[in-house]
Amino acid sequence: MKYLDPKADLTEINSNTQEIPADLLNNPEIEKAVEELKISGFTEAELWAYDKFWDSVSVERTLLDDRYQKGKEEGMEEGYIFFEKSKAMAYERTARM
């Protein structure tokens, strides 16, 4: 894969390339293209492991989101109960006066 590097006349990335210059990876389009190239060169076993990894990341994100939502709901319930008790105590204080 050849592309223009603003700091040089021409830069080439081929099958012998082991590392991409960091200044090239600052470009989001080039970074994405390099990632796609890496993935397309995976063996069947590597591709299976890659897919399995991202599946587990997705599952973990879903579980975290579910826990967050449940905690948020429980917090809202506790806040409502606290508010109601505080309101009742304030009412009792004013009723005693």
Question: Mean pLDDT for each consecutive 10-residue tract of the chain (97 residues)?
Answer: 50 66 83 84 89 94 93 91 86 79
Cα(9)–Cα(6) distance, rounded to whole angstroms? 7
Per-residue model confidence (pLDDT) at position 52: 95
- Provide the H-helix boundaries in 1-97: 22-25, 28-40, 44-96
Please name the amino acid found at residue 88.
A
Cα(5)–Cα(15) distance, rounded to whole angstroms? 19
Per-residue model confidence (pLDDT) at position 1: 46
Q: What number of other Cβ atoms are within 10 A of residue 30's Cβ? A: 19
Burial readout 68-94 (b: 16 or more C-beta within 10 A, e: otherwise): eeeeeeeeeeeeeeeeeeeeeeeeeee
Which residues make beta-bridge pairs with 2? 12
